[in-house]
Structure 1
Amino acid sequence: MLSRESITWLFLLLALAGSLWGHQALTPQWKEQSYLYETFQSEQGRLMYRHKGETHVIDELVHYHQSPLRQAALDKQVDTPALSQQWVEKADGEIVLLKADFHFGLWSLLPAFVTIALCLISREPIIALLAGIVSGAFLMGQFDITDKVLIPSLGTESAAAILVLYLWLLGGLTGIWAKTGAAQAFAQTMTVHFVRGPRSAKVVTWLLGVIFFQGGTISTVLVGTTVRPIADKAGVSHEELSYVVDSTASPIACFLAFNAWPAYVQAFIFVPGVAFLATEADRIAFFFSAVPLSFYAILAVTGTLLMSLNVFTFSGKRLRQAHDRAAVSGQLDAPTARPMSSGELHKVTVPAHYRASMLEFLLPLVTLLGIAVGTFVFLGTPKVNWAFGAALLLAAAMALFKGMSLENLLDGFGEGLKSVVVASIVLMLAITIGGISKEIGGGLYLIDLLGERLPFWLLPVTLQLITMIIAFSTGTSWGTYAIAFPLAMPLAWVIASDQNLANPELFMAICFATVLNGSVYGDQCSPISDSTILSAMTTGCDLMDHVKSQLFPATLAASGAAGLWTLASLLCR
C-alpha cells in the first residue's frame, strides 16, 4: 500500500501535468460582467461616477450594442479582448461599466481542488497551498512563480495587514502575556470566580463570540486569544474550543448585522427595475428584512450553544470523542495533532523575581475590545490594528513599570512571533490561492452553471450549494459575495417574474439569505479560510482536526437550513 507521502507526491505530479496540459489545450470562455455605479452630471456637465466614496470622470460612453465587451461579441472572442472595461449606455438609458471575465470550464476549479485535496491527504496546508498556487499559475501559462505570482500577491495591502496584525501585533501581545504570566493569572482568577469546568469555559467562549459580533477574522482573533488560557485551564479540548470560536464568528454576524456586512453586501445586490433594491438605503433595509431567514446561521449558533452545554446530539462523534479524551486523559489535542501555534506561548517562562497580575491581561484586553468596538461605533469600521497596537503597548509598558527588564520583554515578544510564523505564512498563501482562483474564473464557472431554467423552489438550495462550494474552494465568504450576488440576484428576479410568484420580494429575500449563509458555511469549513486558520491558531488546535471535527455539525445545520429555505420558497407561489 502506498504511504501518505507517496500518494501526496503522485497527486501533485498529476495535478501539475494536468495544469500544463490545460494551458496548451484549453480556450478561455469569455463572459460579460456588468457593474452599476452611482452616476451623475457634474456642475461642468461632465458625466461622473462614485466608487468607494471617491468621484471619477467617465471619459467615453458608447451604446451597448456597439461594445466589444457585450456577450454577443465575446461569444466570438478567442484572444484577450482589446479593452479591459468600457462604459456603456443600454437601451433603457441605464449606464453601466462592462468588463470581460473568463473561465476554463471545470478546469477553473483545479487550483482549489488541488489545494483542498492535498490538505486532506498530506495534512500539510503550506504544501497544499503552494501546490494549488503552482497548478493555477501553470494553467494560466505563468511559470515564474516567485517574481510574477508570489511576490505581487505578498506585496499587497492584505498581505501587509497579515504581517502587521497577525505576526507582529497578535504574536507580540500573546508573547508578552506569556512572559509576564498575565494569561495564566487571568485564567486562574476566572477559574476561581466563574469557570467551574469545561462546560462553563465553553459557555463563556460562546457568549464572547455572540457579544463581539463583527464576524470573520476579527471575532476569531479576539475571542480565541481571550479564552485560550481559561479553556486550557478548565480542560476543554482544542477541537471543541476552535469549533465554538469559529462557529460564533461569521454565523453570528449574519443575524446580528450591526457591523460592516450590510454596507459591503448592498453594493452587489442592485437589480435594475426592482424598486425595493433601488437605493443604498433600500438595499440595507432589505438586508435586515432577510435576517430572520438566515437559517444556517441561527442553527449553527444554536447547535454551538448546545455543544457548549455538553449536549452532543447534533455535534458528531469527533467532537464527542475530543470531549471524552480531554475529560479522561487530560489531553487537549489528539496524539497525532500538530497544533498551528508552537509551544512557546504555553511554557511558563516568567522571570523568577516577577509577580504576575491579572490586570496585566485584563487591562490590555479591555483596551483592545474598547478600541475595536468604539471605532466601529464612531467611525463605521473597527480599527483592529489600532486596538492590538494599543493593547501591545499597554502590556509592554505595564511589564516594564513593574520591573521586567527590556531584555526579558523582547525575549517574550520574540517567542510570540515564533508561535505564529507558520500560521501567518498559511494566511498569506491563502490570499494568493484565492486571487488565482478568482483570476481563472472558478467562481464564475460555478455560477454560470445556473444559466439553465430552474423551478423556482429549487433555486434557493441550488444557490446555497453553489456558494458553499465557491467559498469552500476559495476560503472567503466576502469574495464569494462579490462573485455570486451580482449574478444570483438578477437570476432570482427573472425566475420570480417568469414563474409569476405571488410574493417576489420574499423569494428574493430567501435567495439572498441562501447566498449569504451558503458563503458563510463554505468559508467556515474551508481549510484555506483565514477565519478557519485563525480559529485553529488562536486556540492551539491542529488545523485539519478543527476542519474535520466541525464539518459534521456545520453540514447538519446547512442541511436543516436547506429544508427550511425550500419550504419557505413554496410560500411564495
Structure 2
Amino acid sequence: MPTKHNSIALVAFIFAILSAIYIKQSIAPHWVEQSYVYDVSTNATGISSYIYKGQKVIIDTVEDYQNSPLNQQNLSNLNSSPVLEQQWVKDKNQQLKLLKPAFHFGIWSLLPAFITIVLCLLTREPLTALLGGVVVGSIMLGRYDLTDKVIIPNLAKEGTAALLLLYLWLLGGLLGIWSKTGAAQAFANYMTKHFVKGRKSAKLVSWLLGILFFQGGTMSTVLVGTTVRPLADKAKVSHEEMSYIVDSTASPIASILAFNAWPAYVQALIFIPGVSFLATEADRISFFFQSIPFSFYSMFAITGTLLLSLNITTFSGKRIRAAKLRAETHHQLDAPDAKPLSAKELQSTDVPEGYKPHVLEFILPLVTLTAIAIGSFVMLGSPKINWAFGAALILSAVIALIKGMSLNQVVDGFGNGLKGVVFASVILMLAVIIGSISKETGGGLFLVSLLGEQLPFWCLPVILQLITMIIAFSTGTSWGTYAIAFPLAMPLAWAICQSQGVANPELFMMLCFATVLNGSVFGDQCSPISDTTILSAMTTGCDLMDHVKSQLAPAALAATLAGILWTLTAYFFV
C-alpha cells in the first residue's frame, strides 16, 4: 500500500510541476487593489505620519485616488506588473489610505498548498511534501533558482530567523540539557507521585497548563508540550491524545482569554471608514473583547479537549479512541508505523554517573521562562519568547555546572538537543516558506474574491468561516489569514449590512468578526504545514500526520457546531 501511495504521489507531483509551468507561461495574473487605512496624524506644518511596528513613518507624497496607477480600474487594464509597489492616496472623502497591488491566478493559486497537503496525506512524509509544494510555487512565480531566490530570501526574513533560533538553538538546547540532567524525568516522577495518579490526571494537568499559557500559538504549544511530555509518557498516554490536547488549547484559548498580542494585531486590520464602533484603536480593541462570546469554535475545541482529558471520548473520533485503547492495552504511545518528529536523543535520559537529578532543575527554568514571557508582555506589550527560552537554557546549564556536571557533558547534552529538533526545524522552515509562497500566488485573495454582495446576510458568517478555514489550512497560518481576510471580510459584511438593512449591524459585524477569527484558528490548528501543528507533534513526540488525522475529526465536529450556531444567531437575532 505505501508503494502504491508513493506512485500516486509521484504522478500527482509531476502533474503539479507541469501545471505550474503552464500557469507561468499561459495564465495572466489577475491584479487586485488592496487598501490599508492607518491612524494617520497631521502636525501643524501639514506633515502626515503614522506609527508602524512602534516606529513613526512619514507620508511623503499623496496622490488622488482616481489618478493612482494602483486603483482597481487601472490594475484591471494591466498587461504587465504595476510600476509601483505601493502608493498613498486620498479618496473622494479625503480619507488617506495606502494602496498595494496583489494578484492571484484564479483557482490555480491554490496549487502549491494543495499539492503539499496531497503529498503529505499520501506519503506521510512532511519534509518531501513541503519541499514539493515549494518547488511548484517557485515555478509558478518564475523563481527557478530555488536556493538563491526562494530559500535564502525567506531565511533572511526576521521572523523566519527568529523561529529557527528559538526552535533549533534555544528549544533544542533546553530539551537536550534537561535530558542530560534528568530534570524532565525528575519532574515527571514528582508530578506522578503528588498529582498525576494515572492517564486521566496526566491529561487534566496538560489541559490546565494549556489554559494557563493563554498567549497562544507557538509559545503555548512549546511550553505546554515540553512540560507535559515526560509526565504523560510516564502515565502511558498516547501521543495522539497529548498532541491534540496541546494543539487544541493553544490558539483557541488565546482567542478567548485574549490578554495577549492578538487584539493589538487584529484591530489594525478591521478599520472601516464611517463605522463609529470601529473608529479608534480603543474602539476596535473593545469590539474584539465584545465579540469573544461568539467564539463558538474555540469554546467547543477547548470543551472537546476537556472531555478527552476526563476520558470521555464520544466526540473525539475513532483515531483518538483507537490510540487511547492501544496505549491502555499495549502501552504503545505511537502507532507501529509512526515516525515521531522528536528524535531518539530526546526520548531518553543520558544522566552521567553520580549525578542526581532534582525536580527544581526543571521547575526553576520553567518558572523563569514563563515569568519572562508574561512579564515582558505586560511591560513591553509583546512577549519576548527568545529572552525567555534563552534565560531558561542558561539557568539549566548553570545549575548543572554548579551541581558538578562537567562543561563537556553540558555541551554534549546541548548538542544532542540540537540533533533532536533539527529535522523538525527544517520542516518548520519549509512550512514558513510554503505559507509565504501561497500568499504570493494569491490563494487567499482568490478564495475571498469568490464572495459576492448578493448573499443573504445570514449566510455570510458561515461562508466567511469556511473561506478562512480553507485559507488557513492551505497556508498554515492564522495571523497570515487575518491579514488576508479581515481587510476584505469586514468591509463586505458592512456593505451587506447597509444594502440589506440589517436591524442590528453591530451584532452582525461581531458574528462575522468571530467567524473569521475562529475559522482561521481551525485551519491553522488542523493544517499539516502549520508551525503550531508541527510543534505540537514535535514537543509531544507524535508522528505529524497521525496528529493531523486524529485531531481532524473532533476539530471538524467543533467547527460544524460553531457554524450552525453562527447561522442561527444571524438568522434569529440580527
Question: TM-score band, normalised by the shorter chain?
Answer: over 0.9
Q: Which residue of 2 aligns with 1:346?
A: 347
Q: Which residue of 1 aligns with 2:17?
A: 16
| Shift, 1:452, TM fit | 4.7
Q: Which residue of 2 aligns with 1:171?
A: 172
Q: Which residue of 1 aligns with 2:540?
A: 539
Q: Which residue of 1 aligns with 2:49?
A: 48
| Shift, 1:264, TM fit | 0.4
| Shift, 1:472, TM fit | 0.1
**Cα separation, 1, equivalents of 2:313 and 2:57:** 55
**Cα separation, 1, equivalents of 2:44 and 2:360:** 58
Q: Which residue of 2 aligns with 1:123?
A: 124
**Cα separation, 2, equivalents of 1:554 and 1:47:** 46
Identity %: 64
| Amino acid paired to 1:163 | L
| Amino acid paired to 2:263 | P
TM-score, structure 2 as length reference: 0.98
**Cα separation, 2, equivalents of 1:61 and 1:155:** 32
* Alignment deviations for residues 359-399 of structure 1 (CA, whole Å, 9 cap, x no partner): 11111111111111111122221111111111111111111
| Shift, 1:155, TM fit | 1.6
Pairwise CA RMSD: 1.0
| Shift, 1:47, TM fit | 2.6
**Cα separation, 2, equivalents of 1:40 and 1:158:** 29
Q: Which residue of 2 aligns with 1:311?
A: 312
Q: Where in structure 2 are the equivalents of 1:230-379 lying within 5 Å?
A: 230-379=231-380
Q: Secondary structure at the match of 1:44?
A: coil
CA contact (8 A) 1:297 1:517 kept: yes
Q: Which residue of 1 aligns with 2:454?
A: 453
CA contact (8 A) 1:504 1:572 kept: no
| Amino acid paired to 1:544 | M
| Shift, 1:572, TM fit | 4.1
1:5 and 2:6 correspond: yes
CA contact (8 A) 1:502 1:572 kept: no
* Alignment deviations for residues 141-188 of structure 1 (CA, whole Å, 9 cap, x no partner): 111111111111112112211221111111111111111111111111
| Shift, 1:133, TM fit | 0.7
- Aligned residue-pair number: 573
| Shift, 1:50, TM fit | 2.7
TM-score, structure 1 as length reference: 0.99
Unaligned regions of 5+ residues in structure 2, if any? Answer: none
* Alignment deviations for residues 253-308 of structure 1 (CA, whole Å, 9 cap, x no partner): 11111111000000000011100000000000000000000000001001110011
**Cα separation, 2, equivalents of 1:167 and 1:371:** 20
Q: Which residue of 2 aligns with 1:156?
A: 157
* Alignment deviations for residues 481-540 of structure 1 (CA, whole Å, 9 cap, x no partner): 000000000000010111111100000000000000000000000000000000000000
Q: Where in structure 2 are the equivalents of 1:376-395 lying within 5 Å?
A: 376-395=377-396
| Amino acid paired to 2:553 | F
Q: Where in structure 2 are the equivalents of 1:384-533 lying within 5 Å?
A: 384-533=385-534
Greater CA deviation, 175-184 or 152-161? 152-161
Q: Which residue of 1 aligns with 2:143?
A: 142
**Cα separation, 1, equivalents of 2:456 and 2:127:** 42
| Shift, 1:34, TM fit | 0.7
Unaligned regions of 5+ residues in structure 1, if any? Answer: none
Greater CA deviation, 274-283 or 145-154? 145-154
| Amino acid paired to 1:15 | A
**Cα separation, 2, equivalents of 1:62 and 1:431:** 35
| Amino acid paired to 1:64 | Y
Q: Secondary structure at the match of 1:93?
A: coil
| Amino acid paired to 2:537 | A
**Cα separation, 2, equivalents of 1:393 and 1:40:** 44
Q: Which residue of 1 aligns with 2:189?
A: 188
**Cα separation, 2, equivalents of 1:381 and 1:427:** 22
Q: Secondary structure at the match of 1:571?
A: helix
Q: Secondary structure at the match of 2:10?
A: helix
